[in-house]
Amino acid sequence: MYVIRPQFFIPMITLLRNAATNSLEYKRELALVKEQNIDVTNFESDLEKFKNAFGKNYDLASRKFQTAIDEIDKSINPNYAIEI
């Protein structure tokens, strides 16, 4: 508990109000920084998922393409034995 002289009551209330206003500004800035940090984290995880999925799809397409090329070569070249 604090005792304040009457002539200092209004300045003390003003100081408390300014401190609360500054605290509120800091809380807003902190919330904004946290939100930006979460956005960056989500972006990094989404980018990693995309890279993994793209790599898997590229590998599958590459193998299928190579298999198709080999099958076409086999059908064109009579030296290859026909597989049944």
pLDDT of residue 52: 93
Domain boundaries, the chain: 17-73
pLDDT at 82: 56
Task: Collect all residues with Cβ–Cβ distance below 8 Å to 40 and sequence separation of at least 6.
Answer: none
CA distance 57 to 18: 58
- The token duo for 36 is 């930006």
Local confidence pLDDT in tens for the 84 residues of the chain: 778 888 889 999 999 999 999 999 999 999 988 888 787 778 888 889 999 999 999 999 988 998 998 888 888 876 655 555
Residues 6+ apart with CB under 8 A from 4: 12
Query: Would you say 68 and 62 are in contact if contact means Cβ atoms under 8 Å apart?
Result: no
CA distances from 74 to 49, 62, 63 (A): 38, 18, 16
Helices assigned H by DSSP within 1-84: 9-76
